[in-house]
Amino acid sequence: MSRLIVLSCLSLLACGGTERTRTTFPVQVSARSSGLVTDSGWSVTLTKATAHLASVRFFSGKAQLARATPWWHRALISNAYAHPGHYAAGEALGEVLATLDADLLAGPTEWGVADGVTGAYGSLQLGFAEGGLEVEGTATKGADTVAFSTRFTPPAPLEGAAFSHEMTTSPGRVDVQFDLSVVFSRIDFALVGSGAKPLDTMSPAFNGYARGIEDVSAYVTTWSAQ
Amino acid sequence: MKKLMLVMLSVLSSCGGMGKMSLTTWGEDYIEQEIPAAEFEDGYTVKYTKFLVVVNEFQLATKTGTKGPKQAKPVLVDVHLAGPVELELFSEVPAEKWDSVSWAIMPSADAVVLGAIAATDVERMKTEGYSVWVEGTVSKGLVSKSFAWGFKLNTQYTECKSDDHGEGVTVTTGATAVVELTMHGDHFWYDDLQSPDAKLRAEAIVAADANLDGIVTQAELNAVSLTTLPVGQYGTGGASQVKTLGDFVTALGRTVGHFRGEGECLATTR
């Protein structure tokens, strides 16, 4: 269906009257995984971080959140039509539909070549395959060390991650970087319920992990010209 | 048909004459009367008893850079009281399509008070720097909690548009255009900051009353980590610093300002 939408935008003056040109661009996945410290003060060292991915789709709609610094004073829901539920994906402009098991600790991983069209890109949708984001490691706080393992698969593709770029036919590359500091920020390893390896899925710690994965600011997407 | 009418209005307005514009605000039935149980996923009802907002910086402009009349003074108004209420009448407005309308909800120490607002409320808004203050009850069956929450938000709304009227407002010669800044009281109760499937929900807020005194305070909301609430509820989209129920309700507070009913503006936090 999505491919159909993208292809329909290839025709002149399609999709809202904007002229589009077909283009392709490679997409890679990377991660920021060092120096992870949770909000509750746990230092996290990962021995495994695998993202099981299914799709990434690019849209014209702006993400509902633009980061700014310092956040608390400047940015919350900004530069968007701020209304709960009012993120509008807009036009489908490109996609990679291929499963990928990306080892986030091993450096950038090529995902595939996106079929797309030119135009103003505003956001992306990230689809996870079964397994979602799977991690193992240790968390340390003072004299306490907790060995953990867990995985969480978002039940639906994550929508509205920011990617602001005027796409042309110029060569370049999209990098979807997983900011694992965001993914882990909400986890309190003192609240692991019945166990940490595997992490009790009813525990506040697992809840924080799931919320971290569903926080679309954890996916920092950039364009690099080549 | 609607587009044709908008085009015709634009043509009519481009005659070099002058018109008027009445700036109003309204809280609609959700704030004046109640948000009925049928609107809530978990069957609660919300009744506001106060919904104070400070409206400021309303500005007519065009995308080409022409500036029109601007709001003279910030206004403090209680949109729980029967409305719509006129905030200001702009009596000399060049007749044209003002397609770049902006305004703000922001604290002001010198806001003009409109309507019957208790002196203590006015004093609190001005001296403590609130731009939004809401009071009311949330109830279901025998359970009833009251709340009184203040927000020091400074939110600028720009590029306002509505489905019914298009971008901004068209002022025609000899006529009075009405622009309503509509406050949406249901927004404080949404359970997601981004999802199109966001629902109105109150159970978590009611349960935040930790000391069981029947009052849900903002301190109690701030004490509730979102990680203690079911996954799938209170999603934060990309707002990664929203960690507590208090943060969440505050974030929703930035979204109460709308334009001409269901119309929207770009909201920017300042």
pLDDT recorded at residue B64: 96
Position B5 confidence tier, pLDDT thresholds 50, 70, 90 = low
Which residue is associated with the tokens 């506001």?
B48
Residue A73 has pLDDT above 50, yes or no: no
pLDDT recorded at residue A70: 28
pLDDT recorded at residue A67: 34
Please give the residue of chain A at the shortest CA–CA distance from B161: A81
CB contact A128 to B (< 8 Å)? no
Residue of B196, B227, B265 lying closest to A85 (CB–CB): B196
Q: What mean pLDDT comes out for the span B118-141?
A: 98
pLDDT recorded at residue A62: 78
* pLDDT tens profile A134-144: 999 999 999 99
* pLDDT tens profile B167-176: 999 999 999 9
Residues A132 and A154: beta-carbon distance below 8 Å: yes
What string of DSSP letters covers B214-253?
SEE-HHHHHT-BGGGSPTTSSB-TT-TT--BHHHHHHHHH
Residue of A83, A160, A186 lying closest to B227 (CB–CB): A186
Counting residues of chain B whose pLDDT is more than 70, the rounded percentage is 94
Residue of A77, A85, A205 lying closest to B267 (CB–CB): A77
What is the pTM for the complete model shown? 0.83
Residues B165 and B5: beta-carbon distance below 8 Å: no
**Counting one residue from A and one from B, how many pairs have CB atoms under 8 Å apart?**
117
CA distance to partner chain A, nearest, from residue B24 (Å): 21
Spatial distance between the Cα atoms of B211 and A8, rounded to a whole number of angstroms: 58
Tell me how crowded residue B65 is: count the other CB atoms within 10 A of its CB: 7
CA distance to partner chain A, nearest, from residue B215 (Å): 25
Residue that wins the pLDDT comparison between A68 and B242: B242
* pLDDT tens profile A200-223: 999 999 999 999 999 999 999 999
Q: Do A84 and B226 touch (CB under 8 A)?
A: no
Tell me how crowded residue A13 is: count the other CB atoms within 10 A of its CB: 9
Partner residues linked to B139 by β-bridges: B45, B144
Alpha carbon B53 to chain centroid distance? 8
Q: Do A77 and B265 touch (CB under 8 A)?
A: no
Residue of A67, A81, A155 lying closest to B264 (CB–CB): A81
Mean pLDDT of chain B: 92
Q: Which residues of B touch A38 (CB under 8 A)?
A: none
CA distance to partner chain B, nearest, from residue A159 (Å): 8
Position A2 confidence tier, pLDDT thresholds 50, 70, 90 = very low
Spatial distance between the Cα atoms of B177 and B17, rounded to a whole number of angstroms: 14
Q: Do A160 and B254 touch (CB under 8 A)?
A: no
pLDDT recorded at residue A81: 46
* Cis peptide preceding A198, ω within 30 of 0: yes
Residues B197 and B204: beta-carbon distance below 8 Å: no
CA distance to partner chain B, nearest, from residue A216 (Å): 5
Tell me how crowded residue B11 is: count the other CB atoms within 10 A of its CB: 12
CA distance to partner chain B, nearest, from residue A199 (Å): 14
* pLDDT tens profile B102-115: 999 999 999 999 99
Please give the residue of chain A at the shortest CA–CA distance from B155: A78
pLDDT recorded at residue B92: 95
Q: What mean pLDDT comes out for the span B206-212?
A: 98
Q: Do B240 and A185 touch (CB under 8 A)?
A: yes
Alpha carbon B92 to chain centroid distance? 27
Q: Which residues of A touch B239 (CB under 8 A)?
A: 65, 76-77, 215, 217
Q: Which residues of A touch B198 (CB under 8 A)?
A: 84-85
Report in angstroms the alpha-carbon separations of A22 from A37, A74, A112, A164, B122: 43, 37, 17, 18, 59
Please give the residue of chain A at the shortest CA–CA distance from B194: A85
Q: Do B237 and A64 touch (CB under 8 A)?
A: yes
pLDDT recorded at residue A164: 93
Residues B162 and B170: beta-carbon distance below 8 Å: no
Q: Do A217 and B225 touch (CB under 8 A)?
A: no
* pLDDT tens profile B22-51: 999 999 999 999 999 999 999 999 999 999
Partner residues linked to B130 by β-bridges: none
Q: What mean pLDDT comes out for the span A160-177?
A: 95
Residue A11 has pLDDT above 70, yes or no: no
**B235 CB contacts (<8 Å, ≥6 apart)?**
A211, A214, B191, B192, B193, B194, B195
CB contact A205 to B (< 8 Å)? yes
Residue A146 has pLDDT above 90, yes or no: yes
Residue that wins the pLDDT comparison between B231 and A12: B231
* pLDDT tens profile A42-61: 999 999 999 999 999 999 98
Q: Which residues of A touch B270 (CB under 8 A)?
A: 74
Position A86 confidence tier, pLDDT thresholds 50, 70, 90 = low
- Give the SS3 label for residue A69: coil
Q: Is residue A13 left, alpha or beta, with left meaning phi > 0 and alpha meaning psi from -120 to 50?
A: left
Q: Which residues of B touch A218 (CB under 8 A)?
A: 240
Position A19 confidence tier, pLDDT thresholds 50, 70, 90 = confident
Tell me how crowded residue A18 is: count the other CB atoms within 10 A of its CB: 15
Residue of B195, B227, B238 lying closest to A208 (CB–CB): B227
Residue of B198, B226, B241 lying closest to A71 (CB–CB): B241
Q: Which of B136-140, B159-163, B228-232 is most confident?
A: B136-140
pLDDT recorded at residue B15: 52
Q: Do B269 and A74 touch (CB under 8 A)?
A: yes
Q: Do A87 and B196 touch (CB under 8 A)?
A: yes
Which residue is associated with the tokens 């979602």?
A132
Please give the residue of chain B at the shortest CA–CA distance from A87: B194
